[in-house]
Amino acid sequence: MEELQTNLSAIDVIIDYLLECSGKMLRPRLVYLSALLYPHESEKVIDISVAVELIHMASLLHDDVIDRADCRRGRESVNHRWGNQASVLTGDYLFAAAFNLINRYPLAQVMDSITSTIQTMCTGEMKQMSMNSNLGITEEDYYDKTYRKTACLFASSCRVGALVAEAPPEQVMILERFGLNLGYAYQVIDDVLDFTADAEKLGKPAGNDLTQGNITLPVILALKDQEKGIKLRNLLDNGRSSADKMPAVVNILWECGALEKSIIQSRKFLKKALNNLQQLPASPARQALKDTALYLMDSYNQRLMDGKQGEGRLQSGNA
Amino acid sequence: MEELQTNLSAIDVIIDYLLECSGKMLRPRLVYLSALLYPHESEKVIDISVAVELIHMASLLHDDVIDRADCRRGRESVNHRWGNQASVLTGDYLFAAAFNLINRYPLAQVMDSITSTIQTMCTGEMKQMSMNSNLGITEEDYYDKTYRKTACLFASSCRVGALVAEAPPEQVMILERFGLNLGYAYQVIDDVLDFTADAEKLGKPAGNDLTQGNITLPVILALKDQEKGIKLRNLLDNGRSSADKMPAVVNILWECGALEKSIIQSRKFLKKALNNLQQLPASPARQALKDTALYLMDSYNQRLMDGKQGEGRLQSGNA
């Protein structure tokens, strides 16, 4: 992408590395499809979609520095390969490139959505840090963190797509709610998968969140269980789990139904998201948004079924 | 500043800490005074001035993570006190807050200047990293790095001030050049001061740049000296100096005239900057810009004179 050329080999090499393995492109797809519901200028929509993906890439670069992650998308993370310095700078560069792209158009509301979303995302990361290894966090804390870390960018993606295409305000709001619910559905199932999928498929060790002290919904629900809650608490030394205790932790999460309850919760959010879509006029773009949501969740469910631990249990859970 | 309230104590505490010791406010002053030359909307000018300072603060937070600095403005740095994570996130938050502030107005050219400047600043930091401890860097490399790291934000500050006040395009360019030259003058003298001032006055150990492998103008000039160049090279193991060798290094820098030549270079840039101002219509605002430039450089010169090492030498050098 020419917008990203710096003529400075250090940054260009990192950007090429990021583009080689570009992930699901979910957020720009949400921007694009939300605009596609209405008459729109194609180039403008594409630029804003790209800007949203750049913001996402930048936030991942910074998150990996913060979490000291050594891999991302199944490969060595940028911070692990080129150092924290390069990650921080390339992230800043991409943020600025995104704003530059948005600023090509007089789209004040879009700029406002994106900058506010970034601020919310930063406070979400801070909240996660401040609650690290804290076994006292509530479901409400979890959903607030999930809103800030994930769902708000999903919501904002749909919102800015609709804004670019000058959708009627009430439909902008409906699309925003769709993105929000899809974002919650996505993060909750992602948090489940962290416990249940193969390390190979995850591209990181199973239970990675909990070994890092990131307390997610399944753990919060399991800690509430009268019998298993105490067992789990005993396994979680200082609010995190060592890798060797992870099989026992995952066992508890299945046994007390915490993983299943989380899966049900994710499906509830997905259902809400699909209901939001129903409030919009039928069109191929609406169908494409629905397909995107279903495909995303199906692919997660498939990975859940593939997970060795989940295999028997999930089927019985579904019965 | 209410714009910066997050209601998240972790970020608010850091922002309060930053505001407690807010530095010289040079860049917002350049924005403000550049606008003051013309009829302008006061609130708009103040908002853009604040935005520029927020960008500067954010970049310092990220630079300190990159340079692993443990102090800033004579106090413990944010990364040292709250960790890299908090610094990266608060920086991102401030960047977004700045864009949010600019976006209150339809100021596409201002937004464009600022985003491009941030991109340039990022490539400058990357360039500095890639040239770390490299004794082969040229004066040209140094000035390019100085442009990216410092002078471009000075230039941009003046430019956006003029743009906000809808100054005539040729005067926008003159103010931009004034900022550019002042930026060079400032960075060169700052690099001199790093060798000559008291640790106490600097708020960091003398020669800090060189112990970090940051090769600045005085060293580049001294390395060119036939006799002293070899002596200096022998002291700089792997392109940096240990703190115990710093007195010997500083001695060489004085003896071969490298520090004096650098001071002269800085004064040349200041003179250019003042000449730029002369091309603008006389007004109290122009005088205030001139006073700012002179005051800034005078305060540096004062600190140079105060420096124990510099005391006798600079006077003889000036004679």
> Which superfamily, per CATH, for B2-308?
Farnesyl Diphosphate Synthase (1.10.600.10)
Tell me the per-residue pLDDT of A260-270, one tens digit each, with 9 for 90 and over: 999 999 999 99
Which residue from A48, A68, A62 is spatially nearest to A18, judged by alpha carbons? A62
Nearest to A127 among B8, B66, B100 (CB): B8
pLDDT exceeds cutoff 90 at A306: no
With bands split at pLDDT 50, 70 and 90, how would you rate the model's confidence at B106?
Answer: very high
Task: Find chain A residues with C-beta within 8 A of B145's C-beta.
Answer: none
DSSP B44-112: HHHHHHHHHHHHHHHHHHHHHHHTT-SEETTEE-HHHHH-HHHHHHHHHHHHHHHHHHHTTS--HHHHH
User: What one-letter code names the amino acid at A47?
Assistant: D
The whole-number average pLDDT for the span B204-217 is 85
Assess A144–B contact: CB distance below 8 Å, yes or no. Answer: no
Question: Which range among A40-49, B109-118, B201-210 shows the weakest confidence by mean pLDDT?
Answer: B201-210
Give the architecture-level CATH label for domain A10-318.
Orthogonal Bundle (1.10)
Chain A contact probe: residue of B92, B125, B128, B160 with most A CBs at under 10 A:
B92
Query: Which of B10, B96, B126 is the closest to A11 by Cβ?
Result: B126
Proportion of chain B above pLDDT 70, given as a percent: 90
**Domain definitions of chain A by residue range:** 10-318
- Set of chain A residues whose Cβ sits within 8 Å of the Cβ of B111: 99, 103, 111
Residue A308 clears pLDDT 50, i.e. is over it: no
Cβ contact (<8 Å) for A10 and B129?
yes
Q: Do A92 and B6 touch (CB under 8 A)?
A: no
The reported pLDDT for the residue numbered B318 is 37
Evaluate if residue A228 carries a pLDDT over 90: yes
Asked if the C-beta of B278 comes within 8 angstroms of chain A's C-beta atoms, the answer is no
Question: Using CB atoms, which residue from B88, B91, B123 is nearest to A8?
Answer: B123
Q: pLDDT tens digits, residue range B3-25?
A: 566 656 678 888 888 877 777 89
Contact criterion met (CB < 8 Å) for A85 and B119: no
**Residue, of B134 and A316, whose pLDDT is higher:** B134
Helix (H) or strand (E) holding A71: strand A71-72
Asked if B178 has any chain A CB less than 8 Å from its own CB, the reply is no
Q: Please name the member of A93, A118, A122 whose beta carbon is closest to the beta carbon of B122.
A: A93
Looking at the DSSP bridge assignments, the partners of residue A78 are none
For residue B68, the model assigns a pLDDT of 76
pLDDT averaged over every residue in chain A: 88
The answer to whether A90 faces chain B, any CB pair under 8 Å, is yes
**A86 at the B interface (CB within 8 A)?**
yes
As a whole number, mean pLDDT of residues A199-215 equals 78
Give the DSSP H or E segment for B26.
helix B26-36
- The reported pLDDT for the residue numbered B258 is 97
For residue B106, the chain A residues in CB contact (below 8 A) are 106, 108
Identify the bridge partners of residue B113 per DSSP, sorted by sequence position.
none
| Distance in angstroms (rounded) separating the CA atoms of residues B180 and B241 | 30
| Banded model confidence at residue A175, pLDDT cuts 50, 70, 90 | very high
Nearest CA in chain B to A8: B123
Interface size between A and B, measured as CB pairs under 8 A = 126
What does each C-alpha distance from A309 to A206, A209, A247, A306, B127 come to in angstroms? 11, 17, 9, 9, 48
pLDDT (average), residues B270-277: 97
Closest-CA distance, A93 to chain B, in angstroms, reads: 5
Could you identify the residue written with the tokens 């998201």?
A273
d(CA B70, CA B83) in angstroms, rounded, equals 10
